[in-house]
Chains A and B, each alone.
Chain A
Amino acid sequence: MELTTVWFVAIATLWTGYFVLEGFDFGVGMLFRVLGRNEPERRAAISTIGPVWDGNEVWLIMAGAATFAAFPEWYATLFSGFYLPLFAILVGLIIRGVALEYRGKRDDATWRGRMDVMIAVGSLLPALLWGVAFGNIVRGVPLDADHEYIGGLGTLLNPFALLGGLTFVAVFVTHGAIFLALRTTGDLRVRANRLATRTGAVAAVLTIAFLAWAQVLRGDSMSLALMIAAVVAFAGGLVANVARREGWAFVGTTLAIGLVVVALFVALFPDVMPSTLEPGSTLTVVDAASSPYTLKVMTIITAIFFPLVLLYQGWTYWVFRKRVMVAAS
């Protein structure tokens, strides 16, 4: 495989990992206040993501840094073009991160209430806007001959991208609810399970609509196969959820999110930023890539260290595999 293709795959992998992992902690962040009826329940809900959310978020930092290193032109065009949505995502992630850490540091209901709002908003905003961003990447945006974005904010808020945003939110909410059902006990577990069924139905409809539209815009037979697999996995997850098989339900949503992201990247390849204007101003993997030397050294280093990262991140999930109990109030 060409090194540029290797790095395209690497970046697709990082985004896939990011949405699978942070997907459920975004979901928990949006839901814990709705599902948790009192403080001990809320605490238990949020403790399910406590040890891992920060590590999950590093997948995003890695996706950004790897794009910078392997495809500088892509990084430059994407981040300067999607300026305001990215700014809003950053604000969301900032208030969320701070609130998650600070929530339990004061025993005071008003304080916790404020932090809870920050967590919910800070989970919703990035989930929605990443969906909008990916919708636009797949659909294409106006780029000039220098691969410079020349649209405005309104260009980004097109119907397809907005549908992408809603789809991401609905899928992450479902993914998070299933994760909560998997990781808690008692009433909370039952409620999370029921909620996952309801939001799952909505998410399934949105996902099918979004994927079908994406396929019409820019699909091939490979992406179609992956999209069908994603829908099947999601449906399977929902069936398992109804049957109260939480582990299998989580495997289902995990697979579904992974397959959706992979399908979008497959549909995109070999472009990284399609232009809706001249076909010549479309940015491809080859236009955007770093030099062969840079790609080579990065490939070697990543091949050595990335498995190590997977190993210790996996270990974290193993250490905290026990269900979180709701403390007696």
Chain B
Amino acid sequence: MDTLDLARWQFAITTVYHFFFVPVTISLVAITAGLQTAWYRTGKEKYLRLTKFYGKLFLINIAMGVVTGLVQEFQFGMNWSDYSRFVGDVFGAPLALEGLLAFFLESTFIGLWMFGWDRLPKLVHLGCIWMVVLGTQLSAYFILAANSWMQHPVGFRYNAERGRAELTDLWAVLTNKVVLVTFPHTIFAAFMVGGAFVAGVALWHLIRRPEVDKAVFRSALKIGASIVLVASAGVAISGDLQGKVMTEVQPMKMAAAEALYETEKPAAFSAFTIGTLDGSKEIFSIKVPYLLSFLATGSFDGEVKGINSLQEAYEQLYGPGSYKPNIPLTYWTFRLMIGVGMASAAVALWLLWTTRRGRAPTRWLIYLAAPLPLLPMVANTFGWIFTETGRQPWLVFGLLPTASGVSPGTTSGEVITSLVGFTALYGVLAVVETKLLLRTIRGGLAGTDDPPADEPPDGSPEQAEKPLSFAY
């Protein structure tokens, strides 16, 4: 493998890994904030206990999200320096805004929330976690705006003398139609992950230790499963809108998602296909007529462009070469994203049904407890792989091919070192984190039932001597 392939593998591995933690963080902090708000408003102890329990799990998770995010920022310069030179003027701005408006907010208020239980007035302490929620949402928005610019560049001009893209309209970048549909889609998908996590953990407790804190975990199960259901509706609606925008701005991605070689009108959606390895011939498939036309264009007999005609058009526009992404990869990740996502919604619905009106979950449902949080996470991962590999061979669509973005001076030895290093480190950390999460989950609500004291007056001996809660 040359430097380009190694750098691509490194980006793929570190990004997919980072994106395991991001959706959990985004949603779990909001759910924790919601639980704490419920406690603040109702004074019910169960909400406080759930706040502390899920808050602790959130903290374990965000630690990994933060440290793996560091790698993301630095590797643009390390492995993709020509890309950085080309896009820095445009792409750097949302990235800097993410730091200035989101990361400072998130990290500072997490510290205040974590250590402030007994130091801050209740309402101020509650405000702190909502500031973290705001920070994670802003962070998602800015990074998706940066990414959406790579899918559909707007608000810039090409400066031939400097050989780079230059920003002409920041507002256009921040209101790019791609980010306007991608942001809600990603956030709803994140809430499916967080809801399933809350529900899965609660389900495990209800079955494995049915007498311990039953009522509390029952609430958690219902809350989690309801979040999954509502969020999945949001994912479906925003995903539908996103499909139409994608067809408009990246028709090749839609054609590749469907492995549609010839232009069709109306076009059918294939739920399942066995084809040749490069996807050029179809051996067996199950098709839903008109559906692809609707997904892509909003009309049941709309025309969907095929890969071959797009390839011809792109060759005329950009010169000879292949403009096709890896078709089997895009085809299957697209389907798995939708299929696994729908499966997790179905599981959530079923859980709500089996626990309706005070019914207890049956023992064998335990087999759902573990995979439930993983299902939407897997769907998220497939969605991410689909959207990034579907853009290939472009790094910035229509402007910069992936091969032109790699660092010219970096040796493959350097990239191998960091690739192996990060992969090994991430592997070890995955084991450590999973063990710690499982341990904390098994620990349950123990130690969460002491309500925080009202803030003692400044300078009183009680305050100075109180150990920091949630601390080391």
Check: B404 CB closer than 8 A to any chain A CB. Answer: no
Contacts of A70 in B (CB 8 A): 92, 96
**Chain B binding site: helix, strand, loop or mixed by DSSP?**
helix
By CB atoms of chain A within 10 A, which of B67, B408, B418, B436 has the most? B67
**Chain A binding site: helix, strand, loop or mixed by DSSP?**
helix
A79-B76, A102-B432 known; 14 new pairs, CB 8 Å cut-off, are: A50-B111, A62-B96, A62-B99, A65-B100, A68-B88, A75-B76, A75-B88, A87-B78, A87-B417, A87-B418, A94-B425, A94-B429, A309-B108, A320-B119
B97 to chain A, nearest CB (A): 7
Which residues B66-106 have CB closer than 8 A to chain A? 66-68, 70-71, 73-74, 76-79, 81-82, 84-85, 87-93, 95-101, 103-105
Contacts of B105 in A (CB 8 A): 309, 312
A150–B407 Cα distance when bound, in Å, is 12
A50–B71 Cα distance when bound, in Å, is 22
Q: What are the 4 closest A-B residue pairs judged by CB atoms, nearest first?
A: A72-B88, A79-B77, A69-B92, A101-B63
12 A-B pairs within 8 Å (CB atoms) are namely A62-B96, A75-B76, A80-B77, A80-B79, A80-B81, A83-B78, A83-B418, A97-B67, A301-B100, A302-B100, A312-B108, A324-B468
Contacts of A325 in B (CB 8 A): 464-465, 467
Residues of A within 8 A of B (CB): 43, 46-47, 50-52, 54-55, 57-58, 61-62, 64-66, 68-73, 75-81, 83-84, 86-87, 90-91, 93-95, 97-98, 100-106, 146, 148-150, 290-291, 293-294, 297-298, 301-302, 305-306, 309, 312-313, 316, 319-320, 322-325, 327
Contacts of B98 in A (CB 8 A): 65
Contacts of B90 in A (CB 8 A): 294
Check: B310 CB closer than 8 A to any chain A CB. Answer: no
Write the chain A residue with the least CB distance to B170.
Answer: A297
Check: B167 CB closer than 8 A to any chain A CB. Answer: yes
Contacts of A72 in B (CB 8 A): 84-85, 87-89, 92, 164
Which residues B120-156 have CB closer than 8 A to chain A? 120
Write the chain B residue with the least CB distance to A101.
Answer: B63
By CB atoms of chain B within 10 A, which of A50, A81, A83 has the most? A83
Contact check, A98 vs B167: say whether CB atoms are below 8 A apart.
no
| Contact bitstring B396-440, A, C-beta under 8 A = 1, else 0 | 000000000001111000100110011001000100110010011
Contacts of B99 in A (CB 8 A): 58, 61-62, 65-66
Contact check, B74 vs A64: say whether CB atoms are below 8 A apart.
yes
Contacts of B168 in A (CB 8 A): 293
A46–B109 Cα distance when bound, in Å, is 19
Check: B301 CB closer than 8 A to any chain A CB. Answer: no
A43–B168 Cα distance when bound, in Å, is 51
Contact check, A93 vs B70: say whether CB atoms are below 8 A apart.
yes
B261 to chain A, nearest CB (A): 39
Contact check, A316 vs B74: say whether CB atoms are below 8 A apart.
no
Check: B160 CB closer than 8 A to any chain A CB. Answer: no
- With A290-B92, A316-B108 already in contact, the answer to whether A102 and B63 are too (CB < 8 A) is yes
Check: B277 CB closer than 8 A to any chain A CB. Answer: no
A77–B82 Cα distance when bound, in Å, is 9
A33–B159 Cα distance when bound, in Å, is 54
Contacts of A95 in B (CB 8 A): 425
- Chain B interface residue count, Cβ-Cβ cutoff 8 angstroms: 77
A98–B440 Cα distance when bound, in Å, is 16
- With A84-B414, A105-B440 already in contact, the answer to whether A55 and B104 are too (CB < 8 A) is yes
A98–B79 Cα distance when bound, in Å, is 24
Q: In the complex, how many residue pairs between chain A and chain B have their CB atoms under 8 Å apart?
A: 228
Contact check, B96 vs A76: say whether CB atoms are below 8 A apart.
no
Which residues B458-472 have CB closer than 8 A to chain A? 463-465, 467-468, 471-472
Write the chain A residue with the least CB distance to B171.
Answer: A297
A71–B84 Cα distance when bound, in Å, is 10
B362 to chain A, nearest CB (A): 33
- With A46-B472, A73-B85 already in contact, the answer to whether A313 and B104 are too (CB < 8 A) is yes
Contacts of B471 in A (CB 8 A): 43, 47, 50, 104
B341 to chain A, nearest CB (A): 30
Check: B166 CB closer than 8 A to any chain A CB. Answer: yes
Contact check, B85 vs A105: say whether CB atoms are below 8 A apart.
no
By CB atoms of chain A within 10 A, which of B77, B90, B465, B471 has the most? B77
Check: B116 CB closer than 8 A to any chain A CB. Answer: yes
A149–B410 Cα distance when bound, in Å, is 9
Contact check, A68 vs B100: say whether CB atoms are below 8 A apart.
no
By CB atoms of chain B within 10 A, which of A105, A150, A297 has the most? A105
Write the chain B residue with the least CB distance to A66.
Answer: B96
A328–B318 Cα distance when bound, in Å, is 72
Contacts of A54 in B (CB 8 A): 66, 107-108, 110-111
Contacts of A105 in B (CB 8 A): 56, 60, 436, 440
Contact check, B85 vs A298: say whether CB atoms are below 8 A apart.
no
A319–B100 Cα distance when bound, in Å, is 22
Check: B216 CB closer than 8 A to any chain A CB. Answer: no
A103 to chain B, nearest CB (A): 6
Return the contact of A84 from the options B68, B115, B417 (Cβ within 8 A).
B417
B137 to chain A, nearest CB (A): 16
- With A90-B71, A298-B93, A320-B115 already in contact, the answer to whether A69 and B88 are too (CB < 8 A) is yes
A144–B12 Cα distance when bound, in Å, is 30
Return the contact of A80 from the options B100, B410, B464 (Cβ within 8 A).
B410
A84–B463 Cα distance when bound, in Å, is 46
| Contact bitstring B249-283, A, C-beta under 8 A = 1, else 0 | 00000000000000000000000000000000000
Contacts of A146 in B (CB 8 A): 408
| Contact bitstring B8-35, A, C-beta under 8 A = 1, else 0 | 0000000000000000000000000000
Write the chain A residue with the least CB distance to B464.
Answer: A322
Write the chain A residue with the least CB distance to B113.
Answer: A51
Contact check, A98 vs B93: say whether CB atoms are below 8 A apart.
no
Contacts of B407 in A (CB 8 A): 76, 80
Return the contact of A51 from the options B63, B115, B439 (Cβ within 8 A).
B115
By CB atoms of chain A within 10 A, which of B87, B100, B119, B170 has the most? B100
Check: B207 CB closer than 8 A to any chain A CB. Answer: no
Contacts of B245 in A (CB 8 A): none
Check: B338 CB closer than 8 A to any chain A CB. Answer: no
By CB atoms of chain B within 10 A, which of A43, A62, A293, A323 has the most? A293
